[in-house]
């Protein structure tokens, strides 16, 4: 009974129920194909984490995203 936990920083456009269902279906299929697990034995848990609670490179995601946006804009101008 594998347990798979997917952790994601919440995005501006929230992950839809359809996308979550596709994650659950896709990851379960990988467990079945690679490890020959029965699908009904696979548990998938998705955690969407507030963007300000997620950091990379020492900075919260909203700061990182704002910088990337500014970089795109100055490239475009």
Query: Which residues make up the interface to a second copy (CB under 8 A)?
Result: 1-9, 15, 17, 19-31, 33-35, 39-40, 42-49, 52-60, 63
Q: Could you tell me the smallest distance in angstroms from the CB atom of residue 37 to a second copy?
A: 9
Query: Which residue in 5, 7, 4, 19 sits closest to 50, CA to CA?
Result: 7
Q: Could you tell me the smallest distance in angstroms from the CB atom of residue 14 to a second copy?
A: 11
User: CB-wise, 43 or 77, nearer to a second copy?
Assistant: 43
For the annotated catalytic residues, the residue numbers are 2
Measured from the Cβ of residue 1, the count of other Cβ atoms closer than 10 Å reads 8
Look up residue 65 and give its two tokens. Answer: 């995203």
The Cα 74–Cα 66 span in angstroms is 12
Q: Could you tell me the smallest distance in angstroms from the CB atom of residue 76 to a second copy?
A: 20
């Amino acid at each position: 009974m594998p347990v798979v936990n997917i952790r994601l920083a919440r995005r501006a456009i929230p992950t839809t129920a359809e996308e979550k269902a596709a994650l659950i279906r896709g990851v379960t299929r990988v467990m079945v194909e690679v490890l020959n697990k029965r699908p009904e034995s696979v548990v998938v848990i998705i955690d969407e984490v507030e963007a300000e609670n997620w950091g990379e490179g020492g900075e919260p995601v909203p700061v990182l995203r704002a910088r990337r946006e500014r970089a795109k804009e100055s490239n475009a101008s």
